[in-house]
């Protein structure tokens, strides 16, 4: 299993553990309130969504990774989503090690 697959599995685990916020409005609110340490944005998300999430994340200094498609993100968490935010420091740390 490669790192990309491990990361998707980890996203699924984080989702089941209740450590994922998903959907544009909820993610942006969570970034603003400082609940989020890492954002996954679909690499095929529309330009408006991409700009909104990227601008907000940059402003609040939250890392954004656009390495998965909408399909990959949606499959990982079991619902159709283009943007996911991770709220748990443990998951974030593990995910970062897989990104390097």
**Rg of the chain's alpha carbons, rounded to an integer?**
12
Task: Evaluate the CA torsion angle 11, 40, 72, 5 in order and state its sign.
Answer: negative
With a threshold of 0.85, does the pTM exceed it? yes
Domains of the chain with bracketed CATH: 3-99 (3.30.1330.30)
Q: What is the tens place of the pLDDT at every residue in 21-39?
A: 999 999 999 999 999 999 9
Chain centre to alpha carbon of residue 66: 8
Question: Above 90 in pLDDT, residue 67?
Answer: yes
pLDDT of 100? 78
pLDDT of 1? 84
Distance CA 67, CA 1 (A): 17
Residues 86, 90, 91, CA angle at the centre, nearest 5°? 40
């Amino acid at each position: 299993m490669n790192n990309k697959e491990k990361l998707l599995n980890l996203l699924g685990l984080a989702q089941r553990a209740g450590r994922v916020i998903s959907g544009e409005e909820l993610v942006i609110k969570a970034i603003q309130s400082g609940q989020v340490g890492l954002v996954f944005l679909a690499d095929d998300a529309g330009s408006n969504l991409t700009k909104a999430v990227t601008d907000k994340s940059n402003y609040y200094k939250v890392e954004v990774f656009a390495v998965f498609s909408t399909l990959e993100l949606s499959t990982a968490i079991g619902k159709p989503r283009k943007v996911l935010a991770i709220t748990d420091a443990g998951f974030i740390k593990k995910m970062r090690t897989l990104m390097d």
